[in-house]
Amino acid sequence: MTSAVEVTAQRLRDRGERVTPARLAVVEVLAGTEEHLSAEQIGERAEELRPGIHRATVYRALDALGEFGLVTHVHLGRAGTTYHLAGDLAPRHLHLRCSECGTVYDAPGDILEAARKKVQRELGFQLAPEQVALVGVCVECQG
């Protein structure tokens, strides 16, 4: 099985983009966790994987990988912005954030498909719920 790092390296080469240690470290960090990591946390972990990589370089790598459609981010409200692999590098999913405790949950990417289609059909608007966290109250906080 081809790893996300190998796929990313090949896609960068195919695009004529540079395959840098920072870009590969970012993908390795994201591929190795299910956590919702901030840019700062990704920078810390990338530095641990590849000592000598500067945090600013990791931030530039995140931006570039985002532009290439290999990494995406989601705004979690007061919890900040987190990053994860995009497209076929990771399963499509949505984020749910509890307004009481702040916990972020992953939800299946197709859970809002009917609503997405209805909004497109009736309003001509394409939703991108993957870019934001849906806010509500979790089971534990409801109790």
Binding annotation for Fe cation: 113
CA 135 to the chain's CA centroid: 18
- Give the CA angle between residues 104, 81, 15 to the nearest 5°: 115
Share in percent of the chain as helix, strand, coil (round to 5): 50, 20, 30
Q: Is the C-alpha dihedral spanning 41, 45, 50, 51 positive or negative?
A: positive
Annotated binding-site residue numbers for Zn(2+)? 98, 101, 138, 141
Annotated binding-site positions: 98, 101, 113, 138, 141
Strands 93-98 and 81-85: unpaired
A 10 A CB-CB count for 117 gives 11
Contact between 31 and 3 under an 8 Å Cβ cutoff? The reply is: yes
What DSSP designation does 109 have? T
